[in-house]
Amino acid sequence: MIIPKNDVRLLCDKRQFSIVMNNLVLNGIQAINGAGTIEVALAVNKDVIVIQIKDSGKGISKENIDKIFEPLFTTKQHGTGLGLASVKSIIELHGGIISVTSPPSIFTITLPKIVD
């Protein structure tokens, strides 16, 4: 796993944001199936913080990419379809947005920057 060396202050509910990051990293781990990389990148701009989680798995199919944030949608045999729906809801409650591109699968979270 590759993580950023830079740090940033983020005003958020720590428990909720932990759910977001755990879910996205776990999905990446499942996507690479024991062989590959997961990269977390962080960028700070004037007004926003951008977090990207990228995995080297096979990617999300074109027919599923528009559905992955819908509640109860899953492609996993033992999935509930609530993980990414919860992630999207938490990010939006924090004033941010989440998007995905694939392949490779890159989840991009954009959050408002807190001014010190």
**In-domain check, residue 64:** yes
For residue range 45-80, list pLDDT tens digits in order.
888 999 999 999 999 999 999 999 999 888 777 778
**In-domain check, residue 6:** no
Q: Does residue 69 contact residue 84 with C-beta atoms inside 8 Å? A: yes
Q: In angstroms, rounded to a whole number, what is the distance separating the alpha carbons of residues 56 and 24?
A: 13
**In-domain check, residue 7:** no
Q: What is the CATH number of the domain that holds 93?
A: 3.30.565.10
**In-domain check, residue 5:** no
pTM of the model: 0.89
**In-domain check, residue 3:** no
Domain total in the chain? 1
**In-domain check, residue 9:** no
Q: In angstroms, rounded to a whole number, what is the distance separating the alpha carbons of residues 58 and 70?
A: 21
Q: Which domain holds residue 51?
A: 14-112
